Amino acid sequence: TIRRWVIAMVEQFAEHAALALHNAWLTEERESQLRTIQSLEHQLRAHNEELEAKVAERTDELRDVITNLQEIDEQRRRLLEHVVRAAEEERTRIAHDIHDDPVQKIVALKMQLELLGKKHPGLSGIDDAMEVVKVTIKSMRTLLFDLSPPTLEDEGLGSALAYLLENSGSSFAWTVDDDAMGEDP
């Protein structure tokens, strides 16, 4: 007969063995999960390095694109300045050409009509012709001002606007505050 204490001892050994086996299984499972985590960590680091390399590459590409856009914008700005300057020079040249030739000839025609009217007071059509010439001279002067206001070059934007408003024939009240020039440097 086996004594009870031996059976109890065998049961305890069996329980300890089962517990030891279960602990070994848990340890193996934990080590397997640890290896999986380490593998995933390695993959994640490799993926992060790959992403950082791509980000650095794209950043360099964007930096190049931004530099190119800045250069293109600077070229566009210079071209626009050139076009505006050329247009202003051409408008000024045209205004001077109109002033120096057609306006002077029309003024000379007006003077000749006045002389003709004085020599031949009864001549019909002189007064009508004089009125047409005066209107033409006024139109030409308005055109000259529209092309290249002399006050704009000589006295600035405020004076040019005041002149334009004075000669517009408008019935509204206006004032021009010319603070564009500021204080003398």
Average pLDDT value for residue range 160-166:
76
- Give the Cα separation of 55 and 49 in Å (integer): 10
- Give the Cα separation of 92 and 114 in Å (integer): 31
At 51, the pLDDT band (50, 70, 90 cuts) reads very high
User: Residue 156: is its pLDDT beyond 90?
Assistant: no
| Phi-psi map region of 142: left, alpha, beta (phi>0 left; psi -120 to 50 alpha) | alpha
- Give the Cα separation of 185 and 182 in Å (integer): 9
Residue 170 confidence (pLDDT): 76
Quick one: which of 129, 149, 142 has its CA closest to 103?
142
- pLDDT tens for each residue of 53-104: 999 999 999 999 999 999 999 999 999 999 999 988 888 888 888 878 888 8
- pLDDT tens for each residue of 70-82: 999 999 999 999 9
Indicate the SS3 state at residue 168.
coil
- pLDDT tens for each residue of 3-46: 888 888 889 999 999 999 999 999 999 999 999 999 999 999 99
- pLDDT tens for each residue of 120-137: 888 888 888 888 888 888
